[in-house]
Amino acid sequence: METRLESGQDLKNAARDTKQQVTEAGREAAGRLSAAMQSAKANIQEKTTASARATDRTIRQHPYESIGIAFGVGVLIGVLINRR
C-alpha cells in the first residue's frame, strides 16, 4: 500500500513539475511574441512616417499637378459610383 502512495505522490510531483515547465515555456514564448510585435509596430510607424513625409514633399513641390490628379481620381470614382 505504501508503494502506491509513493507512486501517487511521484505522479503528483511529476505533474506539478511538468505544469511549471509548460507555464515557463508559455511565458517565454509570450515574451518573445511581445518583443516581435513591438519591433514590428516600430518598423511600421517608421515606414508610415517616412511615406507621409515623402508624400507631403511631393505635393508641396508640385501643388497644381497634385490638385489635378486628385480632381481626376474624384471624377473617376464619381463616374464609377454613378454607373451602378
Stretch 27-33: mean pLDDT:
93
Stretch 10-19: mean pLDDT:
87
Residue-level pLDDT at 6: 64
pLDDT at 45 over 90: yes
Q: What is the pLDDT of residues 61-74, one digit of tens each?
A: 999 999 999 999 99
Burial bucket for residue 66 (CB in 10 Å: 0-12, 13-18, 19+): middle
79, amino acid identity:
V
In the predicted model, what is the mean pLDDT of the chain? 90
Residue-level pLDDT at 27: 93
